[in-house]
Amino acid sequence: MHLHRILSFLWALRSPKFLLTKSSKRSASCSLSSFLFSTSVLASSPSSMASVSLDTINPKVLKCEYAVRGEIVTLAQALQEELKSMPGSHSFDEILYYNIGNPQSLGQQPITFFREVLALCDHPSILDKSQTRSLFSADAIKRARQILDQIPGRATGAYSHSQGIKGLRDTIAAGIEARDGFPADPNDIFLTDGASPAVHLMMQLLIRSEKDGILCPIPQYPLYSASIALRGGTLVPYYLDEAAGWGLEVSELKKQWADANSKGITPRALVVINPGNPTGQVLAENNQREIVDFCKKEGLVLLADEVGASQLFIRKMSMFLKRSSTSFKKVARSMGYGEKDISVVSFQSVSKGYYGECGKRGGYMEVTGFGPEIREQIYKLASVNLCSNISGQILSSLVMSPPKVGDESYESFSAEKDGILSSLVRRAKTLEDAFNTLEGVTCNKAEGAMYLFPCIRLPEKAIKAAEAVKTTPDNFYCRRLLNATGIVFVPGSGFRQAPGTWHCRCTILPQEDKIPAVVSRLTEFHRSFMEEFRE
């Protein structure tokens, strides 16, 4: 409950006694970084409203955890405020947010063509002005016109169909067909504000009670554990094999499935994250076929999180790694399984890959293998929130149909894209190598996603020190790292991990010119941490 204490503290700063003078504010702020390790700064302050307290809110909310934006990030934000109000108060001068796959926050530039089209769709009245032709590329102008023609009344400020604008879904379906070589139906596409609402929707549909189980990889992206907890279901864990490059063994799936069944839990769906998050690995196609067969045999809905699956990044990586990523729908279809055989939902987002447009909240799911009466329910759930944001919808269509050879933007687009991808590959390699040189640390390759998930064998003394301040060893390590260097990683606990192992997740997104300094700070911190806790 440390986050609670930080927030209580920040809350207390709002009360009049903290707002009397600048100096009192400063002294309050000064104590913040040390605050987490003190034992009794503030007693748990009572709720102002007796009617709403931790005892009377939905207990499922209390159970839900979301570490990617949890305690460590809150501490980082507080430190950032300190650095702003008191420059020089720490040995570092900025907070380096490597906790989250948020490329543009770390300097990655958006793809010009995409932004040109978005700007023109936002303000179509400039389309016919002569100056526009000198400010925007011809194919962006043409594309914006095409997209506007697909929107009823050319109204980008209107609610759309609850699944998203039909013309954009046509484009996306065509992109999926071209990618997979199997038909895709625009009526199977549901455009969403990023991938998260799509995941929540499917969990809401499937989970009736704690007797319903959802098979999830461990480690997993905490959206899944959070969403399952909020709906009162049971997360049935299956462990990825770290020693085998985070491999997914079907024998492990079968074991956990049987174990859940024996406890009276009915597994309803299997979550597969491919490429892995936080683990970064890409599944081999024969492994995917085994997974599809397992789902078919056990009647499980296959929830395929393919958000990280930017084909281009994987192709770049595969120059080194000889791996490619295939959509689960393609795998199922190539095995001869159609609509009637297996339910597959694929989640996609515009937040990752070379585009990295997190703030646009674009995404979609492709829903296949459900009967019309279930589709009706999925549509109803989508309609309760009316529709997803139109800019995100447009962007989702653009990433599935970028400029082609011969288009005015093609060369600059390709240069931007290749620049980002090549740089990501170099950064992944440098960071992975750096981790592997640290004492007691091993780190698998990032084969297809923007994350590394190194394993840290912490000394017994550090584990005891963590216990003494009532936290987990990985959390303890990440706090110390943050306070010493300003670097923000997410403790492995937030993703769950095999018992007795400790990890942290680090993105491969630090800009290249910063990487030497990051590596040197990390190395220095790790050395002194290990020294401090050596037995």
- Residue with smaller CB distance to a copy of itself, 86 or 386: 386
Stretch that binds a copy of itself, among 19-27, 192-200, 243-251, 483-491 (CB under 8 A): 192-200
Q: CA 503, CA 299: separation in Å to the nearest integer?
A: 34
- Residue with smaller CB distance to a copy of itself, 47 or 414: 47
Using CA atoms, how far residue 461 sits from 38, 262, 476, 483, in Å, is 19, 39, 12, 19
Identify the residue among 87, 336, 372, 500 touching a copy of itself (CB under 8 A): 372
Q: CA 26, CA 153: separation in Å to the nearest integer?
A: 55
Does 118 help bind a copy of itself (rule: CB under 8 A)?
Answer: yes
- Residue with smaller CB distance to a copy of itself, 118 or 463: 118
Task: Name the strand (E) or helix (H) holding 236.
Answer: strand 234-239
Site for a copy of itself in 212-231 (CB under 8 A): 223, 226-227, 230-231
Strand 212-218 relative to strand 266-273, pairing? parallel
DSSP string, 382-403: HHHT----HHHHHHHHHHTS--
- Residue with smaller CB distance to a copy of itself, 73 or 455: 73
Least distance to a copy of itself, CB of residue 71, Å? 10
Least distance to a copy of itself, CB of residue 183, Å? 10
Task: Name the strand (E) or helix (H) holding 424.
Answer: helix 410-437
Does 135 help bind a copy of itself (rule: CB under 8 A)?
Answer: yes
Helix axes 460-468, 473-485, angle to 10 degrees: 90
Does 419 help bind a copy of itself (rule: CB under 8 A)?
Answer: no
Q: CA 369, CA 377: separation in Å to the nearest integer?
A: 14
Does 79 help bind a copy of itself (rule: CB under 8 A)?
Answer: no
- Residue with smaller CB distance to a copy of itself, 351 or 475: 351
Q: CA 227, CA 64: separation in Å to the nearest integer?
A: 8
Contact 12, 35 (CB under 8 A): no
Helix axes 515-532, 473-485, angle to 10 degrees: 130
Does 357 help bind a copy of itself (rule: CB under 8 A)?
Answer: yes
Does 197 help bind a copy of itself (rule: CB under 8 A)?
Answer: yes
Give the CA count within 13 Å in the CB-facing half-sphere of 405.
Answer: 0
Contact 422, 316 (CB under 8 A): yes
Residue 383: φ, ψ to 5°: -70, -25
Site for a copy of itself in 474-493 (CB under 8 A): none
Identify the residue among 16, 87, 153, 406 touching a copy of itself (CB under 8 A): 153
Does 116 help bind a copy of itself (rule: CB under 8 A)?
Answer: yes
Identify the residue among 33, 287, 318, 389 touching a copy of itself (CB under 8 A): 389
Does 531 help bind a copy of itself (rule: CB under 8 A)?
Answer: no
- Report the amino acid identity of residue 172: I
Kindly list the strands in the beta sheet with 189-192, ordered across the sheet, starting from the edge strand earlier in the chain: 189-192, 363-368, 344-349, 301-305, 266-273, 212-218, 234-239
Using CA atoms, how far residue 15 sits from 20, 44, 79, in Å, is 9, 16, 21
Site for a copy of itself in 86-105 (CB under 8 A): 100, 102-105
Does 297 help bind a copy of itself (rule: CB under 8 A)?
Answer: no
Stretch that binds a copy of itself, among 7-15, 312-320, 459-467, 514-522 (CB under 8 A): 7-15
Identify the residue among 16, 87, 88, 157 touching a copy of itself (CB under 8 A): 157
Stretch that binds a copy of itself, among 153-161, 246-254, 278-286, 523-531 (CB under 8 A): 153-161
Least distance to a copy of itself, CB of residue 516, Å? 21
Least distance to a copy of itself, CB of residue 8, Å? 4
Identify the residue among 28, 92, 182, 185 touching a copy of itself (CB under 8 A): 185
Site for a copy of itself in 253-272 (CB under 8 A): 268
Q: CA 65, CA 478: separation in Å to the nearest integer?
A: 17
Site for a copy of itself in 316-355 (CB under 8 A): 339-340, 342-343, 351
**Could you tell me where the DSSP H helices lie in 335-409?**
372-384, 390-399
Does 390 help bind a copy of itself (rule: CB under 8 A)?
Answer: yes
Does 59 help bind a copy of itself (rule: CB under 8 A)?
Answer: yes
